[in-house]
Amino acid sequence: MMGRMADLNTGAAADAGQAKADALPPSLDVAGLAFAYPDGHQALFGVDLRIARGERVALLGPNGAGKTTLVLHLNGILSADTGTGQGVVRVAGLEVAKPNLREIRRRVGIVFQDPDDQLFMPTVREDVAFGPANLGMRGPELDERVGEALDAVGMREFADRPPHHLSFGQRRRVAVATVLAMRPEILVLDEPSSNLDPASRRELAEILGGLDVTVLMVTHDLPFALELCPRALVLSGGVIAADGPTRELLGDAALMQAHRLELPYGFARLDCDRCAPAAFGAPGVGTGAAGSCEHGREHG
């Protein structure tokens, strides 16, 4: 398993994570996870995945593939208790189960899609403090933790503002800070780039790229996934349909088509090194238009 993963990982961050992962349990280990909602709708049919410490992984898949269901299993909001299911989820070696929920919810930081759902306290500071305070933290220690998390997303100067006075991009960044304040083992982001203007999207990418934490990112924004995540998983029909370097997956036209994944207009030639030069940089703009490059189509 480890050998296969080493092959799949590319990029310096993942290599560093791999080196650490040899000694530590993986940040996330999901084995044979199946789940049906009480109304009988089966969302997951046996999901297996493993994310080593320090990795940044994109979770791709069409709408209705079970992505949200999978995410809500990671911190025990959904489990065999709330429907019918089987399988095991482990976060840094600790099984997601009722007696461990408190620690699991510290270890798994979920950033939900709508920051207005995530930010419910009267001020930014109190919202960021909410998680650590639930863990029993108080006083100067709590203040320090809040300051650290707000610094990580560049929002410290907004600490005393009410969330509804911030721009959407700022609210999304504060939402990231609210879970960073719990020093999570793994940061799970649900559609982090949705509804952001290009500048906010870039700022968020810079922030996420600079964090020293394992990341699982659920997204439809494939260029965003490519920019931040060396590895990607495709969840389709309730199973992991593909697992590999993001660039290879996005370049595999047959795979993409089979799972209703599409690159936006202008990004279609990812299989060409000249059109999409770097896995970490933004894909080349303006060179992606059909006909501007003389590469072969043998990849797809």
Partner 1 sequence: MGAGHAHNLYRPGDSPLHRLPPQCKLVAVVVFVLVVVSTPREAYWAFGVYALLLALAAGVGRVPVGYVARRVVVEIPFVVFAVALPFLATGPKTEFLGLTVSHSGLLGAWNILAKGTLGVVASILLAATTNVRDLLLGMERLRMPQLLVQIMQFMVRYSEVIAGEMGRMRVARESRGFQAKDVRQLPVVAKSAGALFIRSYERGERVHLAMLSRGYTGTMPVIVDVRANRAQWCAAALLPSLAVVACAVAWVG
Residues interacting with partner 1, by CB under 8 A?
Answer: 72, 75, 77, 102, 105-106, 108-110, 112, 114, 116-118, 120-123, 125-126, 129-131, 133-135, 142, 162-164, 178-179, 182
What contacts 223, CB < 8 A, 6 or more positions away?
263, 264, 267, 282, 283
Instruction: Output 163 or 245, the one with its CB closest to partner 1.
Output: 163
Q: Which residue has the tokens 């299993």?
A: 73
Handedness of CA 238, 244, 245, 251 (dihedral sign): negative
CB distance 232 to 203 below 8 Å: no
Find the shortest distance in angstroms from Cβ 135 to partner 1.
6
CB of 191 to partner 1, least distance (A): 13
Tokens of 285: 């703009």
Q: Which is nearer to partner 1, 8 or 133 (CB)?
A: 133
3-state secondary structure of 181: coil
Residue 75 or 246: which CB sits closer to partner 1? Answer: 75
Q: Smallest distance, Å, CB 277 to partner 1?
A: 38
- Give 85's strand partners: 35
Residues 139, 146: Cα–Cα separation, whole Å: 11
Comparison of 190 and 252: residue with beta carbon closer to partner 1: 190
Decide whether 72 or 216 has the Cβ nearer to partner 1.
72
CA angle 205, 92, 41 (to 5 degrees): 80
Query: Minimal distance in Å, beta carbon 112 to partner 1?
Result: 5
Q: 278: which 2 tokens? A: 């770097």
Cβ 123 to partner 1 shortest distance, Å: 7
